[in-house]
Structure 1
Amino acid sequence: MKTLQRIVQFAKVKTFACKCIAIGAALAVVATACLIQLASTQLIGGRQTAQAATASRTLTVTLSAKRGRILDTNGTVLAQSVERYTIVGNPEAAQEFKPITCNDDTRDYCHEIDGKPVGTTGAAAVGRLLASVLDMNAMELGAALSGTGQYVILKKDVTPQVKRSIEALHLGGIIWGELSSERLYSDGDLMGALLGGVNDEGTGVAGIEQIENDALTGTDGHETYQRGNGGEEIPGTMTESVAAKNGDDVNLTIDRDVQWYVKKTLKEAKSKFGAAWAIAVVQDVQTGEIMALADSDEVTAGTDEAKMGTSRAVSETFEPGSVGKVISMSGYLQTGLHKMTDQFTVPDHMTVEGQTYQDSSDHGTQRWTLAGILQNSSNIGMIMAASNFTDEQRYEYLTKFGIGQSTGLNLPGESAGWLTSASAWDLRTRNTVLFGQGYTVNIMQLNNVVATIANKGVKEQQSIIKSTTDANGTTTQTKKGESTRIIDEQVASDMMNAMESVAESYSKFVHVDGYRMAAKSGTAEVQGSDGKLSSIISDYSVVIPADNPRYAVTVVMKDPDGTYGGLTAGPVSAQICEFLMQKYEVPVSSARKNAIPVTW
């Protein structure tokens, strides 16, 4: 019996021992698995987990490059980009926002409005905090932050001061500012559509902003760093930094003071003469640089109107009328067909090949030299002098002087005008081109005709971009086009002599005390809104001083009261010339000698 009890007791002990061993083994397996998992987490997965955490905190921020400035020839700023910010919100974070009550312990990071609790939570609370700072409706802000996603633009073109005010609201990670810029134009409509404007992406889309967009546009940089829960940069976590490269500054040949005076004068002239519009250009005779290019339109630079349109001074084309006579007469002299002293008996009308022509006024038969034909602006005299001037020569000199050719200024909206080949001319057009009808020009082309004559017969490439200056201060002068001799120096001198006689015939209306002028007026019938020849173009081109040419000025008006270019555009050009003489302190002219006779 005792033996049996011992056997049973031994069996129980053995069973218990087996269970203990099994449990111990199981616990050992679990412990081993935990150790393996711990080792895996620490030694293998730890790096991945840390990398994931770092990645979630890492942010790459774009550093926006500033667009270059546009300046006048003297460095006066005409257009510039200023520091602005786009205010951005995180809707998901805003909806989880809970304002922190202000007390002595939380004063540095709490939330309140005018010393009172915010009064709500979530996006509505963020909207209330932002409303007064952004000068926006709190409900609209709350609605914008109630959507999905982590990015919504709340307001653009915010000043640095407003951005700092937002930072003081302690909304890091919910609301922040992204650096941008705003394009400002210092003079409103002074250069209007000529400067043009930029689109929402900061790209030039019109005017000088467009043609110089590549130079003005900079290259963005970026920074990569880790941020804390409040959205702030964690010190020492910057891993990459590439500085932004600002765009180049562009210097124009335009003199802002001259542009201002010309603009002012044109606006006054438009009102005084009841004209539909007025345009003008001022050019340095010796360099071809455009010093002013203005119109009477009131278009503010940077506006939709400026970005959608073009400067009237650039785009408007017109028949030059009698100013075009200086082209044909230069051809007569250059080909040796005539001398300025050649004598003509000139009636006031004539019929050639079935076509009847007449001068602007009845004058009976006059005895004029070639210089007298120009002074009296006789269409009949021009036709008589051209009897051996072939159609090909007529076309040749028009094109040599730049008619129908691009000016090379590359301004948006510029037209080369309209000039058909000599082979396409009918019996009337072959003669009307002699006195500025039957083709069209823009004002820059026309002004460069008289500038070429004033420059001793050498045609300069006109320019409006003077130089560019990069972010390092290195200035690069704009490459200048080649000069081209159009007529001999003696021919140019004779033309200036005759043009000075023209100016003297208008001296009662067009003069600058102390200075000699060489000029040509023009008047042309053009198509009006009714489709008929019911509108008038009046123009006046002048060189001053005539004895030492410095500046060429052309003024063009449409439908002015007074009609004739010498009586309308002429006095306006004299105002501009007087300003130029005073501003640049040009020495007064010497007395005129050796004027070519205009009668015989």
Structure 2
Amino acid sequence: MKTIQRIIRFAKVKTFAFKCIAVGAALALVATACVAQLASTQLIGGRQTAQAATASRTLTVTLSAKRGRILDTNGNVLAQSVERYTIVANPEAAQEFVPITCNDTTRDYCDEIDGKPVGATGAAAVGRLLAKALDMNAMELGAKMSGTGQYVVLKKDVTPQVKRSIDALNLGGIVWGELSSERLYADGEILGSLLGGVNDDGTGVAGIEQMENKELTGTDGHQTYQRGNGGEEIPGTMTESVAAKDGSDVTLTIDRDVQWYVKKVLKEAKSKYGSPWGIAVVQDIQNAQILALADSDEVEAGSDEAKMSTSRAVSETFEPGSVGKVISMSGYLQTGLHKMSDQLTVPDHTTQDGQTIKDSFDHGSERWTLAGILQNSSNVGMVLAGLGFTDEQRYEFLTKFGIGQPTGLGLPGESSGMLTSPSSWDLRTRNTILFGQGYTVNVLQLNNVVATIANKGVKQQQSIIKSTTSSGGAASKTGKDTATRVIDEDVAADMMNAMESVAESYSKFVKVDGYRMASKSGTAEVQGADGTLSSIISDYSVVIPADNPRYAVTVVLKDPSGVYGGLTAGPVSAQICEFLMQKYEVPVSSPRKNAIPVTW
């Protein structure tokens, strides 16, 4: 019996032992598998896992380059880009947001609004926290962050102060600011469409912003680093940093003070004379720099209108009328056809090639010299004096003075006007060409005609860009120092003499006390909206001082009451000239001597 019991006990012990061994073997197998997996993870896949983890928290951030400034000739800022931020959010993170209740322990990182609990969770809570800083509706903000995805723009062009206030809300990883910029213009409509504007990408799309876009545009940089759960940079993880290179500053020849004054008097003239528009240009005769180029239009620089339009002072073309006589008369003298003192008998009308030409006023047969013909602005006198002036010569001097050709300034939207070849002229046009009709000009071209005469017959390349300065401070002049002699110096002197007599004839309406002026007025009938010659262009070009030429000014008015250029555009040009003499403290003129006789 005992033997049987021992056998039974042995069998049970043996069975238990087997079970223990089996369990131990199973555990050993599991342990071996775990060790093998651990070894595989650490030794085989560790590098890939670490790389994946690093990649998931590595961020490359663009460092935006700032667009260069536009300055006037004295360094006054006309356009500049200022630091701004685009506030963006992660909707998925916003929807999981739970505000932290404020107490003594959490005071440095808790969430509350004006000392009170947020009162919501998720995107609604984030919206409530942001509403005051962004000056937006909390529900609108919450709705923006209730969608899918990890990126949504909440507001653009916020100031650094607003961005700092958002940073203080402890919303890292949910809401952050991306650096951008905003283009600001200092003087509103003073330069208007001439400056133009930039699009949403910061690219110049009109005016000088477009013309100088390459110089003004910088090169973006970037930084690569690892970020923590809150979106912050992990110290010591910066692997690459390339600094942004800001765009160059562009300095104009424009003098802001002169531009402001010219704009002011043009707007006053528009109102006084009932003109739809007026334009004007001021040019330094000594270096051909444009000091002012203005129109009466009220367009804010940087506005949608400025981006979609061209400055009228650049794009508007017109028949110059009698101002164009100085071109033909310069040709008469330069070719030797006439001297300024030559004597002619001039009736108030003449018929040439079957075409009747009349003066603007009735008169008998007048005994005028060539200087007298210019002073009295006689169309008939110009035609009679031009009988030996060939069509080719007429065209040659127009082109030498720059008519029908680009000014070389490169301003967007600039029109070169219209000048056809002699082969296309009819019998009337070949004569009207002599007194400024039958071709069109822009105000810059016309002003450079009188500036060329005042510059002793040498035509210079006009400029409106004075220099560029890189972000590193290196300056470079951009003007073109090209000059071409158009007429001889003695011819130019005789033209100035005759133009001074013209100015004296208008001295009751157009004068600057203490200063001699040389000028020419113009009035041209042009096509109106009805397709007939029902519209008027009145213009006036003047050089001051006549005895020491410093500035050339041209004013153009459309359909002014008073009609004639000398009575409308003339007084406006005198206002501008008076301002120039005072601003630049130009010495007064010496008395006039040796005037060429205007009658005989």
Aligned to 2:68, the other structure's residue is in SS state coil
Counting only pairs closer than 5 Å after superposition, residues 218-367 of structure 1 correspond to structure 2 as: 218-367=218-367
**Is the CA contact (8 Å cut-off) linking 2:88 and 2:155 kept in structure 1?**
yes
What CA distance in whole angstroms lies between the structure 1 residues aligned with 2:538 and 2:131? 57
Shift of 1:223: 1.3
Q: Give the CA deviation at 1:23.
A: 4.2
When structure 1 is superposed on structure 2, of 76-85 and 235-244 the one drifting more is: 235-244
Q: TM-score, normalised by structure 2?
A: 0.97
8 Å contact kept, 2:463–2:479: no
The answer to whether 1:405 aligns with 2:405 is yes
Indicate the SS of the match to 1:181. strand
- Alignment partner, residue 170 of structure 1: 170
Distance in 1 between residues matched to 2:456 and 2:232, nearest whole Å = 68
- Residue in 2 that maps onto 1:500: 500
Tell me if the contact between 2:544 and 2:550 (Cα under 8 Å) persists in the aligned partners: yes
Mapped contact 2:375–2:505 kept (Cα < 8 A) = yes
Q: Deviations over 1:245-302 (max 9, x none)?
A: 1110000000011111111111111111111111100001121100000011110100
TM-score, L = length of structure 1:
0.97
Match of 1:546 in 2: 546
Asked whether the equivalents of residues 225 and 234 of structure 1 are also in contact (C-alpha less than 8 Å), the reply is yes
SS in 2 for 1:291: strand
* Alpha-carbon contact 1:89-1:153 (below 8 Å) kept: yes
Shift in Å, 1:15: 6.5
Where 2:189 maps in the other structure, the secondary structure is coil
In the aligned structure 2, how far is the partner of 1:366 from the partner of 1:82? 66
| Equivalent runs, 1:484-523 vs 2, <5 Å | 484-523=484-523
C-alpha deviation, 1:46, in angstroms: 2.8
Contact kept, 8 Å, 1:286 with 1:460, in 2: the verdict is no
CA distance in 2, matches of 1:11, 1:104: 70
**2:123 matched residue in structure 1:** 123
Cα 1:6–1:104, aligned 2, differ >3 Å: closer, same or farther?
A: closer
Q: Is the 8 A contact 1:457 1:489 kept in 2?
A: yes
Q: Indicate conservation of the 8 Å contact 2:465/2:479, yes or no.
A: no
Q: Which runs of 5+ in 1 are unaligned?
A: none
- How far the C-alpha of 1:30 sits from its partner, in A, is 2.2
Aligned to 1:56: 56
For 2:190, the equivalent position in structure 1 comes to 190
Query: Secondary structure at the residue paired with 1:218?
Result: coil
Q: Letter of the aligned partner of 2:114 in structure 1? A: D
Aligned residue number for residue 525 of structure 1: 525
Q: Hey, what's the Cα distance between the residues in 2 that align with 1:156 and 1:17? A: 76
Instruction: Give the unaligned 5+ runs of structure 2.
Output: none
Q: Which moved more, 1:478-487 or 1:429-438?
A: 478-487
Please name the residue that 2:563 is paired with: 563
Distance 2:91 2:8 in 1: 75
573-582 or 222-231: which moved more?
222-231
| Secondary structure class of the residue paired with 1:109 | coil
Where in structure 2 are the equivalents of 1:27-42 lying within 5 Å? 27-42=27-42
Hey, what's the Cα distance between the residues in 1 that align with 2:143 and 2:16?
A: 70
- C-alpha separation between the residues in 1 aligned to 2:24 and 2:456? 114
Partner SS for 2:597: coil
Secondary structure of the 1:367 match is strand
Query: SS in structure 1 opposite 2:524?
Result: strand
The CA distance in 1 between the partners of 2:18 and 2:87, in whole Å, is 72
2:281 aligned partner, one-letter code? V
What is the rounded CA distance, in whole Å, between the counterparts of 1:526 and 1:397 in structure 2? 23
8 Å CA contact 1:163–1:177 kept in 2: the answer is: yes
Identity of aligned pairs, percent? Answer: 84
Within a 5 Å distance, the mapping from 1:62-73 to structure 2 comes to 62-73=62-73
The equivalent residue for 1:215 is: 215
Q: Which amino acid aligns with 1:427?
A: L
Post-superposition offset of 1:169: 1.1
Counterpart of 2:173, as a letter, is: G
Query: Residues 346 and 381 of structure 2 are in contact (CA less than 8 Å); yes or no, is this contact kept in structure 1?
Result: yes
Task: Tell me by how many angstroms 1:17 deviates.
Answer: 5.5
Amino acid at match of 2:226: Q
Count of aligned residue pairs for this structure pair: 600
